[in-house]
Chains A and B, each alone.
Chain A
Amino acid sequence: MDSLITAIRVVPLEHYLVLSFLLFSIGMAGALLRRNILIVIMCLELMLNSVNLLMVAFSAFHGDAGGQVMVFFIMLVAAAEVTVGLAILVHLKRNTDGVDINTLNRLKW
């Protein structure tokens, strides 16, 4: 365990920050701009994982295990979320013959 933390500490914290910022931005841009739901879900995953990366990094640098616990928690929730999201996606595909996110506005009353 300690060796892992040492390994993480080899790279300076700033690099983790920049990387996760870039990943998060890519995810956010994708989620906002793309219309394919599949891509949007993938982008959401990307954002979550960028946060996970940051959490692990901070956890290692601060010597606090809480961050890593939180990462497991997020992974769990992400898995559940993807399950629901993909289920919606499958139904959308069956009903509309497409995966365009804007067709979801038909759900509005």
Chain B
Amino acid sequence: MVSTDLLALLVPALPLLGTLVIGFGRKRFTANSGGGLATALVAGAFLCSLLLFLRHDGGTRIVHLFNWITLGDMNIPFAFQIDALSLWMMLIVTGVGTVIHAYSIGYMHDDPRVATFFAQLNLFTFAMLLLVMGSNFLVTYIGWEGVGLCSYLLIGFWYTNPDFNYAGRKAFVMNRIGDMGMVMAMVLLFLQFGTVNYVPVMGQAGAMSPDNPLIITATLLLFLGATGKSAQLPLLTWLPDAMAGPTPVSALIHAATMVTAGIFLLVRSSVLYDLAPYTQDIVLWVGVATALFGATVGLFQNDIKKVLAYSTVSQLGYMFAALGVGAYSAGMFHVTTHAFFKALLFLGAGSVIHALGGEQDIRKMGGLKNTTKTTYITFLVATLAIAGIPPLSGFFSKDGILAHTFADSPAAYAVLVFAALLTALYMFRLLFLTFFGSYRGTAHPHESPKVMTVPLVILAVLSAVGGLLNIPHVFGGNEWLKHLLATASEGVAAEHLDLPVSTEYLLMASTTLLVVLTIWYAWTIYGKKTTLDGEPAGMPFLKRLVARKWMLDGLYAWLVEKPFGWLSRHLFSFGEGKVAVPLTIGTGKTTLGLGELVRKVQSGNTSFYLFGMMAGVVVLLLITLLSA
């Protein structure tokens, strides 16, 4: 019988072990041995998590490893918090992680640096596990920064391409901008409560009055951190660029796990957010705006991965909207189902790219449903799921969010429904253009190997039945996930939804109907396309604006990057060249100049010296006389 503490320790330790072993022996590992080991270790971590989950009794267990930072009255332990929330996230991270690791064996098979890839992927898993398991903000922050670094490394995995490097740096720096908020929030909470451990912080905060400026500041700062990590407005432009990384990376880091860290953090701090309705409004509207933003831009992307990236941005917006109305369990539920279907979509896209020898442009695809059958079917399942077709998982999770939003803010609800229709439109555009019609490219499509298709099937099953985890009351379900999470999060426990059952049915039916109509509309436009127009040059202004991502990248280049470069250059040439250095050199020059002046007096003429002396005496005498 292995003790619970040891199991909890093993969960992050196994991937770390993988990083060290594969990383140091990277010359000796091949795709099969390295990838196999990495997958096995993550699978081991999954099994440990599963064991922990099965043993879990609904309580909160702190696994204390050692005291990390101790100084005076500051004591920050390095400890894990094992409760329903962290266990659930551990299951998602290791579960989806295992599948994606296995898939990578096939996808990265011919890359010369495949062992490095698996070492980094394992390191990411380790960091992500620290993030979700930490018993205090600082341990979470270890993982928070660790996943950021791994994301940087993996986006720029093919390092000879400067654009990829740039994308990696952009991701890290934008995350860091968010991290400023995270660090400041941790400092604020620590100085207020004298600890950063979740349990006491939430306990003490819960006793405070709502709308307290301290709580509002802390929640806003934490949310800034979350916007960076989870690609919300205004810090989202890094995520589409992050698609430069290998596709499994996009699936694991930029769809299933890392980008949901912000949602996890907010759910962890749900006590604080429930006390700050002001912040909740901001969270809601940022989420809604991001959902709409991602959905609109996704319509005009032609890179298969970029479409999915904007779709991720949009879905993350849904999750934040859920948190904004206090529906934490709905947000977490969507995190779960999204991890399934979005990972599946990315892996499917990877399979397509693999089949076409690296082609990512959907204008050069088409008709693939015959050549890549498994990929097509699984992709279809995922697309139906994300569009919210019952009874697939996405329907239940999205419906939960919509229902809660409707009860809280009908305006937000309307925008979200509109975004949901756009979701169906761009996803089916992608599906039709990729798999239907006739092939428009030049490569020879072929189905991917088993090691890649089996993960697809597993995820497809999960995407299909994932909804069972949290079937709402209206369908006679008992909201299992919500009850599970309620043991760990007071925010979830405090949730309530008071809508009449008839309203709920009506909302669901109308949304589903509209989505089906949208899919039919997509079919009429894209279903039978054999050729595609070029760039949307002649489009009206609004369309052009959307196609160019609302000019957000240009705006940042114009507002931040260029001024910063300018400042750096000119501060150097002016501050250093014209002020600081001349100041020192000037001091020296002045001294020399003064010396030049005074040395004229030293003529060597003794009479002149004598005269000077006398004159001096006379002057001194005069001064004495006159002042007396």
Contacts and interface: CB of A to CB of B under 8 A. Distances in A.
A46 to B, nearest CB: 14
Interface string A75-109: 00000000000000000000000000110111110
B617 to A, nearest CB: 10
Interface in A22-40: 28, 31-33, 35
Interface in B602-628: 602-607, 610-611, 614
> Chain B interface secondary structure, helix, strand, loop or mixed?
helix
B606 to A, nearest CB: 5
Given A28-B614, A32-B611, A32-B614, A104 B606 contact: yes
A107 B614 contact: no
Interface string B316-341: 00000000000000000000000000
A102 B614 CA distance: 18
A46 B512 CA distance: 124
B610 A108 contact: no
> Chain A interface secondary structure, helix, strand, loop or mixed?
helix
B235 to A, nearest CB: 70
Contacts of A32: 607, 610-611, 614
Contacts of B614: 28, 32
Contact of B603 (A31, A33, A35, A105): A105
Contacts of A108: 602-604
Contacts of B610: 31-32
Contacts of A35: 607
Contacts of B611: 32
B149 to A, nearest CB: 65
Q: How large is the interface on A (under 10, 10 to 19, 20 to 34, 35 or more residues)?
A: 10 to 19
Nearest to A33: B607
B620 to A, nearest CB: 15
Contacts of A106: 604
Contact of B605 (A28, A31, A33, A102): A102
A105 B607 CA distance: 10
A27 B545 CA distance: 99
Interface in B571-628: 602-607, 610-611, 614
A102 B604 CA distance: 8
Contacts of A33: 607
Contacts of A105: 603-606
A39 to B, nearest CB: 12
Contact of B604 (A28, A31, A107): A107
Nearest to B611: A32
Which of B602, B604, B611 neighbours the largest number of chain A CB atoms within 10 Å of its CB?
B604
A101 B604 contact: no
A104 B607 CA distance: 10
Nearest to B617: A28
A102 B607 contact: yes
B603 A102 contact: no
A101 B603 CA distance: 13
Contacts of A104: 604, 606
11 contacts: A32-B610, A32-B611, A35-B607, A102-B605, A102-B606, A104-B606, A105-B603, A105-B606, A107-B604, A108-B602, A108-B604
Interface of B: 602-607, 610-611, 614
Given A105-B605, A105-B606, 20 more contacts: A28-B614, A31-B610, A32-B607, A32-B610, A32-B611, A32-B614, A33-B607, A35-B607, A101-B606, A101-B607, A102-B605, A102-B606, A102-B607, A104-B604, A104-B606, A105-B603, A105-B604, A107-B604, A108-B602, A108-B603
